[in-house]
Structure 1
Amino acid sequence: MIPGAITPGRWRAAALAALWTLVAATLALGAYSLWRAGVTDQFAWLATLRALLAAVVLVWWTQLLARYTHAVPTPDGDGVLRSLRGLFPWLTSLRLALWALSALAYLSGTLNANPVALTAIATIELGFILAKNAVYGSLVRAAPHPEDLPARARLLSWLNVAAPLSLALGVVNVVPVAGLGGAPDAVSLGVYGLHALLDVAATLLALKAVQTAPHPRPA
């Protein structure tokens, strides 16, 4: 072993710690968004529901990743696997519905914002949604067979795509765009910026944990 090198077990522990922290941060973000917008804001309730579903999906995804990076296969009938398989498409659908509402607002012409900036924002948001959906689905398919190297490669590829998109979305959320709402206050910048950094860090650590996970031999 190279002196000072991080062992696979430490990458795995770091990834799981970051993911569990992200679960808590996602719940806190949903509560903060609702408090900031007010309980009478229907869009805020939808955003809070999105955060709640995202946290629940991440709880199950993290449990599967913990087994997968320990080379422990998850049976097809496992409750966590079945729950994740059933719920993450609903999270993606809700995210796409909220994205479509935003896109309609962009296209309506009522916003006095740069159309190039709006196009970039919509593209980043859509890419983030699709990449996250692929990350969930890739682990769902790979979890029963940790010895399946092509499945592992797909999971790694989507984690690699999701990380920069998470960073880009975080930048979009904290950098004000002229004509698209007012400038965010310092507290909001801190809350959204911290959540984005946690998301990027957790994704990169999960990527490293999968890269360094043991490769069991096919039965």
Structure 2
Amino acid sequence: MSATQWRQAALAALWALVVATFTLAAYSLWRAGTIDAVSVLQALRSILAGLILVWWTQVFTRYTAEDTVPDTDGMLRALRMGLPWLTSLRLAMWLLLLLSLGSGMAQTASPVAVTALVTISGAFIFAKNAVFGTLAKWAVTPKEALGRVRLVQWLNVAAALSLALGVVNVVPIAGLPGSDTLDVPSMVIYGLHALLDTAAMLLALKAVPPPMAP
């Protein structure tokens, strides 16, 4: 595929991921049945992730066209302001997971599976923050070789962790509350979202122009 085709495929996958992320937010609320703190936080996390992805994709569109995005650009400013909120919310929910596991809710669950869930989900948060943050930093200098290298590296890491997180979220963990009762539609929806996220990250790294020779 040519560079233009990679870019078109990446943008199509990213916008599809935007739609899927907002759909996931609605599904989380519908699946909960009742509005409680957990379901609201999960939906809010998906909505905020969708918004960040909208802004990131628009900046990425210009970045891969090698168009400079000024610091005053509305999308770039929104991305920079919104990203800390998304990361903080993800970290807060990750800490809630740790607290719930530490309170004895998963005493009968496999320690290996629980450790994998906690480790992968934490690494996923860090990698996604790095993907969004790297573009937010280097969008003003799209031809800078170091920025392109860093972005490709983090996109590669994020793709692997997206797939890994999808696996641990879909495969039931016996003894873990909520995991062993996951229904088939939920497994399909969460699994497809993870696959689309992985594909979007892989296509995006292919769309980043290679560093120019000095």
Is 1:110 the counterpart of 2:105? The answer is yes
- The count of aligned residue pairs is 211
Q: Write the letter of the residue equivalent to 2:128.
A: K
Q: Which residue is equivalent to 1:28?
A: 23
Alpha-carbon distance between aligned partners in 1 of 2:66 and 2:138, rounded to the nearest angstrom? 11
Structure 2 gap ranges (5+): none
Q: Please state how far the C-alpha of 1:26 moved relative to its aligned partner.
A: 0.4
* Distance change >3 Å, CA 110–CA 216, structure 1 → 2: closer
Q: Please state how far the C-alpha of 1:39 moved relative to its aligned partner.
A: 3.4
Q: Write the letter of the residue equivalent to 1:107.
A: G
Q: Secondary structure at the match of 1:108?
A: helix
Structure 1 gap ranges (5+): 1-5
Alpha-carbon distance between aligned partners in 2 of 1:47 and 1:184, rounded to the nearest angstrom? 16
Contact 1:71 1:216 in 2 (8 A): no
Which one of the candidate residues 90, 93, 96 is aligned to 1:98? 93
Contact 2:148 2:211 in 1 (8 A): no
TM-score (norm 2): 0.95
Q: Which residue is equivalent to 1:129?
A: 125
Q: Which residue is equivalent to 1:191?
A: 189
Q: How does 1:11-160 map to 2 (within 5 A)?
A: 11-111=6-106, 112-160=108-156
Question: Runs (4+) of structure 1 moved beyond 4 Å?
Answer: 214-218
CA offsets 1:37-80 (integer angstroms, 9 cap, x no match) = 12322100000000000000000000011001001010011111
Q: Write the letter of the residue equivalent to 2:48.
A: L
Name the stretch that deviates more: 177-186 or 148-157.
177-186
Is 1:207 the counterpart of 2:205? The answer is yes
Q: Write the letter of the residue equivalent to 2:53.
A: L
CA offsets 1:76-102 (integer angstroms, 9 cap, x no match) = 111111110000110000000000000
Q: Please state how far the C-alpha of 1:216 moved relative to its aligned partner.
A: 7.2
Contact 2:29 2:35 in 1 (8 A): no
Q: Please state how far the C-alpha of 1:115 moved relative to its aligned partner.
A: 1.8
Q: Which residue is equivalent to 1:162?
A: 158
Q: Please state how far the C-alpha of 1:217 moved relative to its aligned partner.
A: 9.2
Contact 2:163 2:195 in 1 (8 A): yes
Q: Write the letter of the residue equivalent to 2:197.
A: D
Q: Which residue is equivalent to 2:5?
A: 10
Q: Please state how far the C-alpha of 1:202 moved relative to its aligned partner.
A: 0.3
Is 1:179 the counterpart of 2:175? The answer is yes
The percentage of aligned residue pairs carrying the same residue is: 59
Q: Write the letter of the residue equivalent to 2:76.
A: L
Q: Write the letter of the residue equivalent to 1:132.
A: K
Q: Write the letter of the residue equivalent to 1:163.
A: A
Alpha-carbon distance between aligned partners in 2 of 1:91 and 1:106, rounded to the nearest angstrom? 23
Q: Please state how far the C-alpha of 1:24 moved relative to its aligned partner.
A: 0.4
Q: Secondary structure at the match of 1:27?
A: helix
Q: Please state how far the C-alpha of 1:16 moved relative to its aligned partner.
A: 0.3
Alpha-carbon distance between aligned partners in 1 of 2:196 and 2:88, rounded to the nearest angstrom? 23
